[in-house]
Structure 1
Amino acid sequence: MNTVLQELSDKGIKYAIEAGAQYCDIRAEQQEKKSVHIENNEIENIRAFSDSGLGIRLIKEGAWSFCSITDPKSFDEIKEKINHAIKNSSHPTKNKKKVDQYPSPTNNLKIDFPVLKKPSIDELVTIGLECSRIILDTPRIIKSIISPWYTVNSKYFVNSEGSKIEQNFTDVVTDMIAVAYESGITQSTNITEGGRGGLEQITNKDKIQQKAKDISQKASELILAKPLKEEQTTVVMNPDFVSLLTHEILGHPSEADRVLGKEMAWAGGAWWKGKIGEKIGSENLNVFDDPTIKESLGWYYFDDEGIETKKTTLVENGILINHMQNRETAQIFNATPTGNMRATNYRFMPLIRMACTCIGNGDRNTDEIIKEVKNGYLISNMKIPSIDMKRYNWSISCQYAQKIENGETTDLLRDVIVMGTAPEFFESIDACGNDFTVRPITNCGKGDPMQSMIMGNGGPTIRGTAMVKSVN
């Protein structure tokens, strides 16, 4: 972290309190991003972007105010911004409810996240071109799109309660798309791989080149796949599909600001408002959010309020236990902050956001879960969600499905959508696999103005009941 930004942040806190603020915190952030975009073995662009600045929150006369400064050059700029923020908080508002924050301990530390292989744009180009060639070598493939990128981030948080926390981390991610075409039919498959760390996030374990081969083969096979008829049936969902389902119908409604209706006008609420302590699913359903899962894109040690992170149980054996809380909502729910306050960057106020929300794994072997199904479908890999305002009715398309007949997977199926209502589907879950997996999510939107956030979501193979149909 630039020491000048740290010093300006420290001075800004002192000035805000002297100017009459009851509380103030400042996030100094720096980011460098490099990316390459490759289509059909051709480099379309290589981009480099850097950004730095301060995000300043304060409470004056019981009300929040926020301002941000990009690349500040002098302390006078910061003083001017703080003065405006204090003035804005002081405007009289009818029936104004004063902010009440949960007490927070003071923390002073610096954390450097591990990077085993430092990324470079040259290495991303090499990997991207190799993946593009692999995809295009597959029959029926007409297009490959490869978009590798990495960011190097430094975040310094300081508040008027005495906390000073620095976190330095790197993210490496690759997005890949394979498009197949034949006889008037177009099919595409895609995958995102990566995590918090260095180049090892896409080169270790299941190498990115194998993922490129997998999606190209599947896109090609889908040209010959069949659609299916609409029916209410047993569905077995693989971990990649489960991660999006978890994100949309378990993660978002668990954010306490949505539960309180503070996002209803633009992002929706939560159907289980007021149901803490009640049964909302089968005893096989366990849900948690965990920012401490290492190498996930949702891995961090302190949130943007300076709260230390921990694993938070949201649903336990089908019972709704808790929501994700910030210091303010924790007071309302008589709970404790969960470490989920995050902003896209210093330009925005932090919001309650998922870190790594997952369905907990079970003890069942995936093959056994499938073998017990007489008639149903294996649903694989996330595609496009459509969820109502309260996360009650949901519809999520998958990249492909397979028919299950007498415990065996048979026909490959395309253009499949899975639909249900949250309580009915949760209650129907009768098996969870032992194949727990965390997947990267890079484009979650929330807030007004909209903030895009990266995070992890995950879970095991699960089995339940839902409606399925093909869009064609």
Structure 2
Amino acid sequence: MDTQLEEFADYAIKYADDAKVQYCDIRSEEQERVSILIENGETEHVRTINDSGIGIRLVKDGTWSFCSITNPESKEQVRKAIDSSIKNSMHYAKNKKESFSLYPNKSIQKKIDYHTEQKPNLEELIKIGTICNKIISDTPKIIKSIVNPWYTNNSKYFANSEGSKISQNFSDVVIDMVAIAHESGLTQSVNITEGGRGGIEQITKGDKAQNSAQEIAKKASKLLSAKPAKEEKATVVMNPDFVSLLTHEILGHPSEADRVLGKEMAWAGGAWWKGKIGEKIGSEHLNVFDDPTIEESLGWYLFDDEGVQTKKTTLVEEGVLKNHMQNRETGKIFNEEPTGNMRATNYRFMPLIRMACTCIENGDWDVDEMIKEVKNGYLISNMKIPSIDMKRYNWSISCQYAQKIENGEVTDLLRDVIVMGTAPEFFQSIDACGNDFTVRPITNCGKGDPMQSMIMGNGGPSIRGVATVKSVN
């Protein structure tokens, strides 16, 4: 990181402290983002975006205020921003009724360089993207192949008025791919995202990107002759990719304490299980956790944007709701330790409570055995589009494809399938979790007003439960 950014951060802390604020923290950040878009063998664009700046968060007279500066050039600029923020806090404090307090946190001085096997570079990214695009394009009935590989190099420096100074440096590498097939007036598309925190190996190890490109192309082509599903309530076996989105939407979001308190309702709503800590909300087979320490996932980090050290947090244990994701402020309200889930998209935004890597825990079932016990049901594969109510109670999620299960055998391929249910009824119906635990990358989670888009991991094993299944066409 540019040493001047760190100097501005340290100066801002001292200046705010001299101004008698109750609390102040600073995030200095630099990011390089390189992205390539390849469509049907043609490179549409190669883009490099560099961004740097500082975000300043402080409390004066019991009221939060936030400001950010892109590419700060002088200490005077920093002083003016802090003075303005202090004035804002004092103005809004006149009508504030609630008292302010933060859960205690240790003062930390640390520098972390996250593991990277092969540093990302443009040439390798173009090579992989071109290979994947050709794999998709060469598949029969494919009319469009879209491949978007990208990487970011990130440096973050956190400092606060309690003495913490934390540097974190990491890279993320991701490839988004779409295969679109068309025949006789019918169009079908299948997409996939691969990648994680680390280097180029996140998409090349085990030929991950190429294998996924081949899989989505074949599946999009086969879906042209697939049948629609009739509407029925039935047993469903969901694969880990679909489970990752289901976990994200109806377990992760309502576990964010600001939503539980009704303080952050924009974009993803509240939580139907408000006030239900210690109550049974699912079957004994349902165990849920959030874990920012899972290496190489897009939600891997060791300190959050409040300087809180991360750890695995149990959210649901054998169907019983145990905890929410907490920041230092909600932790004080719930009398629970902060969980290390306070994050912002970048220095321009005030951090919010966000999932890191929320997952359903694996079981010991072999997936084939889970399927063999189903007389009439569906194998649901790969996430598509969610539709969830404001309390995360009623949900419907479309899948990329499904297959009928008849007398323990996987039979017909089905297209345009949506799975629906209510959170408590579905959670209670879960009777088996597989041994095929997988973490999937999520790159576009929205929350907040103004909206912040965040990357993270979500995952789990194959799970079996009961839900309503139908095709949209």
**1:60-75 mapped onto 2 (5 Å cutoff):** 60-75=60-75
Does structure 1 residue 27 correspond to structure 2 residue 9?
no
Counterpart residue type for residue 65 of structure 2: S
Determine the structure 2 residue equivalent to 1:138.
Answer: 139
What SS is found at the alignment partner of 2:150? strand
Deviation at 1:393, TM superposition (A): 0.1
Taking the aligned partners of 1:36 and 1:223, their CA distance within structure 2 comes to: 29
Determine the structure 2 residue equivalent to 1:14.
Answer: 14
Taking the aligned partners of 2:33 and 2:267, their CA distance within structure 1 comes to: 30
Deviation at 1:98, TM superposition (A): 2.6
Query: Does the CA contact (< 8 Å) of 1:145 and 1:177 recur in 2?
Result: yes
Determine the structure 2 residue equivalent to 1:352.
Answer: 353
Taking the aligned partners of 1:275 and 1:219, their CA distance within structure 2 comes to: 42
Deviation at 1:115, TM superposition (A): 1.1
Does structure 1 residue 314 correspond to structure 2 residue 315?
yes
What SS is found at the alignment partner of 1:205? helix
Deviation at 1:206, TM superposition (A): 4.5
Deviations 1:361-420 (A, max 9, x none): 000000000000011000000000000000000000000000000100000000000000
Counterpart residue type for residue 59 of structure 2: I
**1:334-413 mapped onto 2 (5 Å cutoff):** 334-413=335-414
Determine the structure 2 residue equivalent to 1:467.
Answer: 468
What SS is found at the alignment partner of 1:207? helix
Taking the aligned partners of 1:339 and 1:94, their CA distance within structure 2 comes to: 30
Counterpart residue type for residue 225 of structure 1: A
Counterpart residue type for residue 20 of structure 1: K
Determine the structure 2 residue equivalent to 1:169.
Answer: 170
Taking the aligned partners of 2:68 and 2:121, their CA distance within structure 1 comes to: 30
Deviations 1:122-155 (A, max 9, x none): 1111111111111111110000000000000000
Determine the structure 1 residue equivalent to 2:294.
Answer: 293
Query: Does the CA contact (< 8 Å) of 2:146 and 2:177 recur in 1?
Result: yes
Determine the structure 1 residue equivalent to 2:452.
Answer: 451
Taking the aligned partners of 2:104 and 2:132, their CA distance within structure 1 comes to: 50
Deviations 1:251-293 (A, max 9, x none): 0000000000012355310000000000000000000000000
**Higher alpha-carbon deviation: 110-119 or 276-285:** 110-119
What SS is found at the alignment partner of 2:120? coil
Counterpart residue type for residue 146 of structure 1: V
Determine the structure 2 residue equivalent to 1:81.
Answer: 81
Q: How many residues align?
A: 472
Determine the structure 2 residue equivalent to 1:186.
Answer: 187
In structure 1, list runs of 5 or more residues that go unmatched: none
Query: Does the CA contact (< 8 Å) of 2:27 and 2:156 recur in 1?
Result: yes
Determine the structure 2 residue equivalent to 1:207.
Answer: 208
Deviations 1:306-363 (A, max 9, x none): 0000000000000000000000000111111000000000000000000000000000
Counterpart residue type for residue 42 of structure 1: E
Query: Does the CA contact (< 8 Å) of 1:288 and 1:312 recur in 2?
Result: yes
% same residue: 74
Deviation at 1:93, TM superposition (A): 3.1
Query: Does the CA contact (< 8 Å) of 1:433 and 1:461 recur in 2?
Result: yes
Taking the aligned partners of 1:467 and 1:211, their CA distance within structure 2 comes to: 28
Does structure 1 residue 5 correspond to structure 2 residue 13?
no
What SS is found at the alignment partner of 1:218? helix
Deviation at 1:96, TM superposition (A): 2.6
Query: Does the CA contact (< 8 Å) of 1:64 and 1:99 recur in 2?
Result: no
Query: Does the CA contact (< 8 Å) of 1:242 and 1:460 recur in 2?
Result: yes
Taking the aligned partners of 1:467 and 1:432, their CA distance within structure 2 comes to: 19
Deviations 1:159-195 (A, max 9, x none): 0000000000000000000000001110000000000
Determine the structure 2 residue equivalent to 1:253.
Answer: 254
What SS is found at the alignment partner of 1:204? helix
What SS is found at the alignment partner of 1:57? strand
Deviation at 1:121, TM superposition (A): 1.1
Query: Does the CA contact (< 8 Å) of 2:38 and 2:147 recur in 1?
Result: yes
Counterpart residue type for residue 62 of structure 1: G
Taking the aligned partners of 1:411 and 1:327, their CA distance within structure 2 comes to: 51
Deviation at 1:19, TM superposition (A): 1.1
Does structure 1 residue 45 correspond to structure 2 residue 34?
no
Deviation at 1:208, TM superposition (A): 0.8
Taking the aligned partners of 1:282 and 1:120, their CA distance within structure 2 comes to: 46
Deviation at 1:22, TM superposition (A): 1.1
Determine the structure 2 residue equivalent to 1:103.
Answer: 104
What SS is found at the alignment partner of 1:291? coil
Taking the aligned partners of 2:289 and 2:352, their CA distance within structure 1 comes to: 18
Taking the aligned partners of 1:14 and 1:71, their CA distance within structure 2 comes to: 20
Deviations 1:103-129 (A, max 9, x none): 000110100001111111111111111
What SS is found at the alignment partner of 1:304? coil
